[in-house]
Structure 1
Amino acid sequence: MPSETFFHLKSEKRKKMDSVLLDIFYDQPISQVKVAQIVEEAAISRGAFYKYFVDLEDAYLYTVKECAKEIHGDILTFIYKDQSDFFSGIERYLEWCSELDTNDDHWKKLKLCTQTNLLSNAKREPLAKDSPMVIQWKELLAQNQFNINDSEEAISFLYFIMALVMDAITDFMVNNWTTEELINDFRLRTRWILNGVR
């Protein structure tokens, strides 16, 4: 993870660094990225880069995790807009993503997160069972009459939903689907979840 020095940067400077890292990492494998690129684009010294990050991989991991946090927050925002129709919120999020310009920062974040297996192999962030977010999530699941028994299962379902959405977006990108194809495929997945396959 980045150093305390990085987290204490002025907001404007940190935003610029985040933007540079996103622009560099989203469109090329980390194996092709050089620290010199980041230093030049961010207009910082090589020494400053190493004050902020242990190495290139540290900067990459930080960028992926920050992008994932923002994406997951946006997914939840769309879900909470219509609390009584859980999957329609996800559909609206997918539609919105499918219409983004490829130069949009959110699109770049999606592309970065769909191209890395770090998220699927990463250790889950611990969530307190009595945190306001988990309580709100459980209330939403109950409102939608989902058969979720406890906080642990609710948290597991949260991670499942995030993976489901990211898989849908990955398929959209890889297959070069239209918005309609994306939504139709997602509706199949939704049906399997709600009704089972037997």
Structure 2
Amino acid sequence: MPSPTFFHLKPEKRKKMDTVLLDIFYNQPVSQIKVSQIVEATEISRGAFYKYFLDLEDAYLYTVRESAKQIHGDILTFIYKDQSDFFAGIERYLEWCSELDTNDENWKKLKLCTQTNLLSNTKREPLPEESSMIKQWKALLAQNQFNISDADEALSFLYFIMALVMDALTDFIVNQWTTAELLKDFRFRTKWLLQGIR
């Protein structure tokens, strides 16, 4: 986790750091990256880098977490656009992703997050049943007539859906699918979920 000093940077300086970290990490294995690349691209001293991060791994984990947060927020935004058709919202999100330019910051975040298994090992943060996020999520699930009994199950379903979407995007990137191939495969998955396989 970055130091408090990093989080107190001026917004434009932090944005530059975030952009450089994403540009460096999204397309190279972390094992091939050197601190000097980041220092040079951000025009900071080596000492400043270590003032912000414990090490290169710390900067990488921060970049993955921040990217994942945005992706998860984007997925939820698309789902909430049409609350009565849960999986259609996800399909619209997948279609939007499939049409991103490879130089787009959103694409870089997707590529970074689909290349790491860190997301599947993310510690789940418990949320109280009375939290507004859980209440909204449970209301959305009820509106779609999903049989979810309590806050724990609702939260587990949220993580399941995020993993489902990230798996679909990983397959899309690795297999170099078209939008049509991505949506066809995702529809198989939703059919299995909603109708079963027997």
The TM-score bracket by the shorter chain reads over 0.9
Q: Which amino acid aligns with 2:144?
A: N
Aligned with 2:23: secondary structure?
helix
Q: What is the CA deviation profile of residues 63-83 of structure 1, one whole-angstrom value per residue up to 9, with x for unaligned ones? A: 000000000000000000000
Q: How many angstroms apart in 1 are the aligned matches of 2:31 and 2:87?
A: 38
Shift of 1:122: 2.2
Partner of 1:136: 136
Amino acid at match of 1:111: K
What corresponds to 2:4 in structure 1? 4
Question: Secondary structure in 1 aligned to 2:71?
Answer: helix
How does the TM-score come out when normalised to structure 2? 0.99
Partner residue in 1 for 2:36: 36
C-alpha RMSD over aligned residues: 0.6
Structure-2 residue corresponding to 1:151: 151
CA separation in 2, counterparts of 1:9 and 1:37?
20
**1:192 equivalent in alignment to 2:192:** yes
Dislocated runs of 4+, deviation >4 Å: none
Match of 2:127 in 1: 127
Q: Report SS of the residue matched to 1:41.
A: helix
Cα separation, 1, equivalents of 2:192 and 2:127: 28
Does 2:49 match 1:49?
yes
Corresponding position of 1:169: 169
User: How far apart are the structure 2 equivalents of 1:125 and 1:62?
Assistant: 17
Identity across the alignment (%):
80
Partner residue in 1 for 2:94: 94
Structure 1 Cα separation of the partners of residues 124 and 52 of structure 2: 24
TM-score by length of 1: 0.99
Aligned residue type for 2:92: R
Kindly provide the CA deviation profile for residues 12-40 of structure 1, in whole angstroms up to 9, marking residues without a partner as x.
10000000000000000000010000000
